[in-house]
Chain A
Amino acid sequence: AQKITQTQPGMFVQEKEAVTLDCTYDTSDPSYGLFWYKQPSSGEMIFLIYQGSYDQQNATEGRYSLNFQKARKSANLVISASQLGDSAMYFCAMREGNTNAGKSTFGDGTTLTVKP
């Protein structure tokens, strides 16, 4: 079974608007971490934000926030006030603590295009 599912292959957003990128995950491990990475066309993978399975509050990092709904097993990334430089591929990833020795599993990504 797919551990990380990103159902939006591509998304468009107008500059300065907010956008939500969806991510659902599947695990039976009570201890896990959820991450979002950005991959611009240049290819480097950049860490954006982290949410732990035991964290009570949603993570925020500048214009990035993570909408964590544990019961629904979703960890959506919200980008506020989109900028042209946000155009990139975005990956959701999970690290499982007890069952997989910290192995990181990635989704297939969402390509975000910011329109001027």
Chain B
Amino acid sequence: EAGVAQSPRYKIIEKRQSVAFWCNPISGHATLYWYQQILGQGPKLLIQFQNNGVVDDSQLPKDRFSAERLKGVDSTLKIQPAKLEDSAVYLCASSLAPGTNSPLHFGNGTRLTVT
């Protein structure tokens, strides 16, 4: 099966600019996640979708971050305006179901550098 697709792979922007990341999950996977991984740390959940509804966005900085999942498939994550501390790898993951026994399948991530 095709894996989770993410683009772009790398992005360099200046602070206060905007940026968008795209994710296409594994076909049939109802649950989609966006994680932020700062260098040397574990992934931190930003938002979790179940189909096209938001399940958890408690750690999403909503003043600058937004995410949507149209038609329950592809998803985009946007940052506007970016800050220096947003430099990180943004990982998209999907799982077949939200159940406790369903592992996450990750994309290769987008490495964002804010200068």
Contacts and interface: CB of A to CB of B under 8 A. Distances in A.
B55 interface: yes
B56 interface: yes
Given A43-B89, A47-B105, A95 B43 contact: no
Interface stretch (A13-21, A28-36, A68-76): A28-36
A33 B95 CA distance: 14
B42 interface: yes
B56 A103 contact: yes
A52 B103 CA distance: 11
Interface in A26-79: 31-33, 35, 37, 43-47, 50, 52-53
Interface string B27-51: 0000101010000111111001010
Contacts, number: 75
Contact of B101 (A52, A100, A109): A52
8 contacts: A35-B103, A43-B109, A45-B106, A47-B103, A47-B104, A91-B42, A95-B100, A106-B35
Interface of A: 4, 31-33, 35, 37, 43-47, 50, 52-53, 91, 93, 95-97, 100-109
Interface of B: 31, 33, 35, 40-45, 48, 50, 55-56, 89, 91, 93, 95, 97-106, 108-109, 111
